[in-house]
Amino acid sequence: MKRIADVVIVGGGCMGASVAYHLARLGVTDVVLVEREQMLGTGSTGRNAGGVRHQFSNEANIRLSIESVALLERFSDDVGHTIDFHQDGYLFLLSDGASVETFRRNVALQRSLGVDVQWLDAIDAERLAPGLAADGIAGATFCARDGLAYPNSVTMGLAKAAQAAGIEVARGTEVTAIRADSGRIVGVDTTRGAIETRTVVNAAGPYARLIGRMADVDVPVQPYRRHIFIAAAPADAHTWRVPASRIMVIDFDTTFYFHREGAGVLFGMGDRDETPTFDTTVQWDFLPQVIDVAVQRLPALVDASISHAWAGLYEVTPDANPIIGPAAGVDGLFLINGFSGHGFQHAPAAGRILADGIAGRDPRFDLTPFDIRRFAAGAPSGPSTDSRPSKSTSRDGERYFV
């Protein structure tokens, strides 16, 4: 492992890999990407459902989506690696008048930025997603360019391209300290020795706060457990009424979501009573609550068995929007944290933007909404409702979805 580097990136998930790839594109290759596990992308990146959507309530998030989706669409040409990206769309189901009004504002914003989002009724929704029970649905929105990508293939594609350009990837290496002198980064200590550097990127996902504390910077990110379940098809699968495509269906008011996954169905739901934790043990006593809602929207799940399940961690900020840019008070420390459930899908754009900033280039993106100083200035800019469930979360957007 290098003992001196221009940049050290802490965290080998989708964010760290994206920053490394985009730095390499700019010719910055004296970089070490440090990952404590033996494989990249085995943390939150490898445990998410892979959803990619344009349908956000916040303009900055929509712009991140526009750029990220564009890169995923041309990933093979630009990055040189093939990924599985299925654009079968996101379908949001709305059950009450308040939700419909919220989404009318959101769709107007999305369309103003060039995103093609359709308004549908319950019959249209059932036609798009065979097997869906749209009882009580007051309206729905659908964007055909939304879809699903596999996090591992995207992360490994970015990392391999960065390595091919000369960036070092240090697996099985844990950061134990970040050293600063007179408010300036000077080095990083790891379980494999020290690296002298003047630039550190905190891309540690749900562990961002712990890494930030090493440099005496408070990164306001909390880890929240989210569950994913896989329902196996019954023996007579040819009669199983579930969508044939990978369309992502989200019931806005309950947060229940599902999409086809191979022969089965992947599904999950937010837990309104969740508290911060690093525990990724599956809480099986939560499954009955999910099933009670699930069978109302996808009756075919009544006949299905659960083949397996897992839990991952969301990295959540107080306003459910990410932190991208330099840390306040420590020169040379850069943050790319707190994406609150939509980090994988925004990693392509966020990594490019931060790499531009590190290289001293104009990122061509207004980072004001993502500046960490917004928290120190007083009340955050209000929950965007793009991410996690919370008793205090407002209803002005699509909330806490994959």
The pLDDT tens digits of the residues spanning 54-84 come to: 999 999 999 999 999 999 999 999 999 999 9
The proportion of the chain whose per-residue pLDDT surpasses 90, expressed as a percent, equals 87
Structure tokens at 36: 């404590």
Judgement on whether residues 121 and 166 belong to the same structural domain of the protein:
no
Res. 269: pLDDT tops 80:
yes
Predicted confidence band at 377 (pLDDT cuts at 50, 70, 90)? low
Residue 257 lies in a domain: yes
Are β-strands 7-10 and 31-34 bridged in parallel, bridged antiparallel, or unpaired?
A: parallel
The proportion of the chain whose per-residue pLDDT surpasses 70, expressed as a percent, equals 94
Judgement on whether residues 117 and 210 belong to the same structural domain of the protein:
no
Question: Average pLDDT, stretch 93-117?
Answer: 97
Residue with more model confidence, 395 or 84: 84
Check residue 387 and give its pLDDT.
Answer: 45
Res. 311: pLDDT tops 50:
yes
CA dihedral for 112, 118, 122, 125, sign (positive or negative): negative
Judgement on whether residues 19 and 128 belong to the same structural domain of the protein:
no
Predicted confidence band at 386 (pLDDT cuts at 50, 70, 90)? low
State how far the Cα of 84 lies from the Cα of 152, in Å rounded to an integer.
10
Question: Average pLDDT, stretch 204-216?
Answer: 97
Judgement on whether residues 241 and 134 belong to the same structural domain of the protein:
yes
Res. 46: pLDDT tops 50:
yes
Average pLDDT, the chain: 92
CA proximity to 90, closest of 386, 391, 395, 389: 386
Judgement on whether residues 216 and 258 belong to the same structural domain of the protein:
no
Radius of gyration of the chain (CA): 21
CB contact set of 195 (below 8 Å; sequence gap of 6+)? 1, 2, 3, 4, 5, 8, 32, 187, 188, 189
Residue 388 lies in a domain: no
CATH number for position 227 = 3.30.9.10
Res. 186: pLDDT tops 50:
yes
Out of 278, 298, 316, a domain closes at 316
Residue with more model confidence, 395 or 57: 57
Check residue 335 and give its pLDDT.
Answer: 98
Structure tokens at 230: 């896989």
State how far the Cα of 20 lies from the Cα of 351, in Å rounded to an integer.
8
Check residue 248 and give its pLDDT.
Answer: 98
Residue 274 lies in a domain: yes
Angle subtended by helix axes 14-25 and 151-164, to nearest 10? 30
Judgement on whether residues 166 and 284 belong to the same structural domain of the protein:
no
Structure tokens at 14: 């989708």
Q: How many domains does the chain have?
A: 2
State how far the Cα of 326 lies from the Cα of 391, in Å rounded to an integer.
31
The residue with tokens 């990136």 is 9
Rounded to the nearest 10°, the torsion over CA 185, 177, 40, 325 is -30
pLDDT tens figures, 331-361: 999 999 999 999 999 999 999 999 999 999 9
Judgement on whether residues 275 and 137 belong to the same structural domain of the protein:
yes
Res. 396: pLDDT tops 50:
no
Q: How far is CA 122 from CA 134, 215, 354, in A?
A: 6, 52, 41
Question: Average pLDDT, stretch 232-245?
Answer: 89
As beta bridge partners, residue 261 has 264
CA dihedral for 127, 128, 130, 133, sign (positive or negative): negative
Q: How many CB atoms within 10 Å of residue 173? A: 22
Res. 383: pLDDT tops 60:
no
Rounded to the nearest 10°, the torsion over CA 300, 124, 110, 243 is 30
CA dihedral for 237, 243, 248, 252, sign (positive or negative): negative
Residue 399 lies in a domain: no
Res. 390: pLDDT tops 60:
no
Res. 395: pLDDT tops 50:
no
Domain of residue 103, residue span = 87-145+223-316
Judgement on whether residues 249 and 349 belong to the same structural domain of the protein:
no
Residue 76 lies in a domain: no
Residue with more model confidence, 49 or 284: 284
pLDDT tens figures, 142-181: 999 999 999 999 999 999 999 999 999 999 999 999 999 9
Judgement on whether residues 227 and 311 belong to the same structural domain of the protein:
yes
The residue with tokens 């749209």 is 134
CATH number for position 338 = 3.50.50.60
Residue 349 lies in a domain: yes
Judgement on whether residues 304 and 247 belong to the same structural domain of the protein:
yes
Q: How many CB atoms within 10 Å of residue 327? A: 22
Residue 381 lies in a domain: no
Res. 137: pLDDT tops 70:
yes
Judgement on whether residues 175 and 270 belong to the same structural domain of the protein:
no
Residue 330 lies in a domain: yes
Predicted confidence band at 394 (pLDDT cuts at 50, 70, 90)? very low
Chain center to CA of 108: 24
Judgement on whether residues 171 and 210 belong to the same structural domain of the protein:
yes
